[in-house]
Amino acid sequence: MRSFEVKNRTLAEDIKALRLITAIKTPYLPDGRFDLEAYDALVNMQIGDGVEGVIVGGTTGEGQLMSWDEHIMLIGHTVNCFGSSIKVIGNTGSNSTREAIHATEQGFAVGMHAALHINPYYGKTSVEGMVSHFEHVLPMGPTIIYNVPSRTGQDIPPGVIHTLAQSPNLAGVKECVGHARVVQYTENGVVVWSGNDDECHDSRWDHGATGVISVASNLVPGLMHLLMFGGKNPSLNSKLLPLIDWLFKEPNPIGLNTALAQLGVVRPVFRLPYVPLPRPKRVEFVNLVKEIGREHFVGEKDVQVLDDDEFILIGRY
């Protein structure tokens, strides 16, 4: 189900060159559907501050809470509105090979520039199964493999990546396992994006990583851009660490969702099983914004502490 139209020809090289990719938040309307106006505004803020790519429907964007038709629609929407300004990387991975194949085919058909693929989480499989899974989707287009054992329950061994690297479509790895693993790849010519905001500065400047696939850049895209492009900058890194630490106190995107709602950039609507951080943490966030400087954060409104009853939590949507 290939298309050879010019618009559907992105090279893995174009993806390999990206240093700052945001795992973009998906905002919701009060009934749980996507809030495309807020989404568009958010993507425009990313573009305006130098972000080069977005992961659509990643774990941060809550792809796991989307139906596939919503997911592919959001990829298609992003391509249509922003595809000439930013690279659109669809998280079309799944723990089901069938779903990964179907979604990846559809994602490339609607014009995404690259796919993000996870190893089969939860169900898991053998190393042979993992390789077979990836080999079913890799021929479809530029691909980033995502390794995050703390979510998947299973590490992708480097051998798997080196096998896949024989395909010209392997753009690189989003790696969360730490510097030693990063080096293991970068010394062997495999492009790496740090999947940990707290490590990305060092990964980039000390361990050969190309850049970061970031959660924090949803909030402070300009500062993350400086961190990735502006040369080694431990003081900026130190300044950001408390924010990053706050963001990941609970499983992501709980912190991010809470933060963007308090910045007035998205409505305070959560699709369950996500719930906002408790009030003391919400107060902490306002203080962090003041310390770092409101002007570095997305949005124009004053940051505020939202009350419990201002949040809408949705189970059916």
208-218: string of b/e by CB count within 10 Å (b at 16+)?
bbbbbbbbbbb
* Near a second copy in 99-138, by CB under 8 A: 101-102, 105-106, 109-111, 120-126, 128-130, 132-133, 136
Contact window for a second copy (CB under 8 A) among 79-87, 183-191, 209-217, 219-227: 79-87
> What minimum distance in Å lies between the beta carbon of 248 and a second copy?
11
CA of residue 149 relative to chain centroid, distance = 16
Q: Interface with a second copy includes 241 (CB under 8 A)?
A: no
Choice between 170 and 227, CB closer to a second copy: 170
Which pair of tokens denotes residue 152?
């998947």
Q: In the complex with a second copy, which residue's Cβ is closer, 102 or 162?
A: 102
- Does residue 97 interact with a second copy by CB under 8 A? yes
Name which position in 37, 187, 245, 302 contacts a second copy (CB under 8 A): 37
Q: Looking only at residues 132 through 171 of this chain, which bind a second copy when binding is defined by CB under 8 A?
A: 132-133, 136, 149-154
Q: Is 205 in the site for a second copy (CB under 8 A)?
A: no
Task: Look up residue 226 and give its DSSP letter.
Answer: H
Q: Give the whole-angstrom CA distance, residue 228 versus residue 233.
A: 9
Phi-psi group of 170: left, alpha or beta (phi > 0 → left; psi -120 to 50 → alpha; rest → beta) = beta
The CA distance from 314 to 171, in Å, is 36
For a second copy, the binding residues in 254-273 under the rule CB under 8 A are 254, 271-273
| Rounded distance between C-alpha atoms, residue 274 and residue 257, angstroms | 9
- How many residues touch a second copy under the rule CB under 8 A: the total is 77
Is 121 marked active-site? no
Minimum Å gap between C-beta 128 and a second copy is: 5
User: Would you call 146 a catalytic residue per the annotation?
Assistant: yes
Exactly one of 17, 64, 208, 236 binds a second copy (CB under 8 A); that residue is 64
> Tokens 């024989």 appear where?
166
Least spacing, CB of residue 312 vs a second copy, in Å: 13
Alpha carbon of 240 to those of 82, 106, 234, 246, 292: distances in Å? Answer: 28, 37, 10, 10, 8
Shortest reach from residue 314's CB to a second copy, in Å: 8
SS3 call for 127: helix
Q: With both helix axes pointing from N to C terminus, report the angle between 221-229 and 36-48 in degrees, rounded to the nearest 10.
A: 30
Q: How far is the CB of 169 from a second copy (least distance, A)?
A: 17
* 196 lies in the site for a second copy, by CB under 8 A: no
From 13, 30, 48, 96, residue interacting with a second copy (rule: CB under 8 A):
96
Q: Which of 11, 16, 17, 40 binds a second copy (CB under 8 A)?
A: 40
Of 300, 297, 268, give the one whose Cα is nearest residue 282: 268
Pick the catalytic residue: 28, 146, 185, 274? Answer: 146
Task: Say if CB 244 and CB 288 are below 8 A apart.
Answer: no
- Identify the active-site residue in 28, 174, 185, 274: 174
DSSP 83: T
Please answer whether residues 27 and 39 qualify as being in contact, where contact means their C-beta atoms are separated by less than 8 angstroms: yes
Active site residues: 146, 174
